[in-house]
Every structure is written in structure tokens, then in C-alpha cells.
């Protein structure tokens, strides 16, 4: 027998307690855990992302939250995966809690390029290499401000 469908609203980050928000931001060093841009280099405040969205029963807990820039968070939305033709294989996104960034991506002249299919899915949907984003990374790299020191 199937479980009943959840009926409560899928309001996103407003339900995250301030203390948990602060923990997630500090754990990330105020850097987007997807594109690695530091909060100081962004116009808009960082966001708290549900890695597995609430819509897909993701928890509001340390293990399912990531610090994200507005652009990555907006592009990701409630998605958790994408499909590549011609095989129509489903590939999940990079998970900052369980995956290592360097295993899925590398930097090349301001672009974030994939090493794996998980990386490829994430690069595509989060639109890492939109020209303005690449240009911003190139400029910040040239002055030693990207990627941020770990």
C-alpha cells in the first residue's frame, strides 16, 4: 500500500532556524558549495539550499543543507537530477555533503568543467558556465580571489 501524499506546503528556506542557517553558512566558509564563489564576491546574500528538496522529502537538517549563491540555488530549484540523451539516463546532482568537489569538477580559465556524469549534470542545470559567471571568475582569479582559499 502506498503512503499518503504529503499535503503541507513546500515553502522553502523560511522554515530553517536561524541557528541552523548560521551553522551551514559558517561550515561553508561563506562560499557557495556548488560554484565556490565567496559571499564577498556576490551581490545577493547567500542562500541555504536543501540538497534534496523538501518536495522530494529532503530534511531540514545539517546533512541535507548547503550554502549556495542565489544563482546556483535559483538554477537548481527543487531539481535533484537531470537526463542526458540519447540514452535518457538519469544523473543526480553533486551533493556537497557526500561528494568531494574536486572529484566531480575542475577549473579551466574561469569555467567549471565536469570530471564525472554527476559533475556534468550539475554543470548543466546550475548553468555554471554562463558567460557572465565565467567572466566574473576569470577576473577574480586574476586578482587571486577565486577560488577562495580552503
Work out how close the CB of 48 gets to Zn ion at its nearest, in angstroms, rounded to a whole number: 13
Among 35, 65, 80, 118, binds Zn ion (CB under 5 A): 35
Which of the stretches 15-23, 65-73, 80-88, 104-112 binds Zn ion when contact is defined by CB under 5 A?
65-73
Closer CB to Zn ion, residue 65 or residue 69? 69
Residue 140, CB-side half-sphere exposure with 13 Å CA sphere: 21
Work out how close the CB of 124 gets to Zn ion at its nearest, in angstroms, rounded to a whole number: 14
* Residue 48 binds Zn ion (CB under 5 A): no
Among 32, 51, 65, 66, binds Zn ion (CB under 5 A): 32
- Name the residue among 32, 74, 77 with its Cα closest to residue 58: 77
Work out how close the CB of 34 gets to Zn ion at its nearest, in angstroms, rounded to a whole number: 5
Work out how close the CB of 56 gets to Zn ion at its nearest, in angstroms, rounded to a whole number: 20
Which of the stretches 20-28, 67-75, 102-110, 137-145 binds Zn ion when contact is defined by CB under 5 A?
67-75
Distance of CA 2 to the CA centre of its chain: 31
Nine-digit cell string for 127: 548553468
Strands of the chain, DSSP E: 47-50, 65-68, 81-84, 89-92, 105-108, 111-114
Q: What is the DSSP string of 6-33?
A: P-S----GGGS-HHHHHHHHHHTTTB-T
* Contact of 35 with 79, CB cutoff 8 Å: no
The residues of the shown chain that bind Zn ion, judged by CB under 5 A, are: 32, 34-35, 69, 72
Amino acid at each position: 500500500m502506498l503512503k499518503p501524499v504529503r499535503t503541507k506546503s513546500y515553502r522553502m528556506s523560511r522554515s530553517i532556524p536561524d541557528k541552523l542557517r548560521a551553522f551551514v553558512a559558517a561550515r561553508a566558509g561563506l562560499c557557495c558549495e556548488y560554484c565556490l564563489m565567496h559571499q564577498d564576491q556576490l551581490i545577493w546574500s547567500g542562500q541555504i539550499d536543501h540538497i534534496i528538496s523538501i518536495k522530494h522529502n529532503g530534511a531540514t537538517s545539517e546533512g541535507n543543507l548547503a550554502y549556495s549563491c542565489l544563482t546556483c540555488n535559483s538554477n537548481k530549484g527543487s531539481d535533484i537530477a537531470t537526463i542526458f540523451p540519447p540514452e535518457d539516463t538519469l544523473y543526480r546532482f553533486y551533493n556537497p555533503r557526500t561528494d568531494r568537489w574536486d572529484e566531480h569538477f575542475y577549473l579551466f580559465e574561469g569555467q567549471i568543467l565536469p570530471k564525472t556524469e554527476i559533475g556534468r549534470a550539475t554543470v548543466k542545470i546550475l548553468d555554471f558556465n554562463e558567460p557572465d559567471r565565467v567572466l566574473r571568475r576569470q577576473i577574480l582569479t586574476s586578482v587571486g580571489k577565486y577560488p577562495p582559499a580552503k
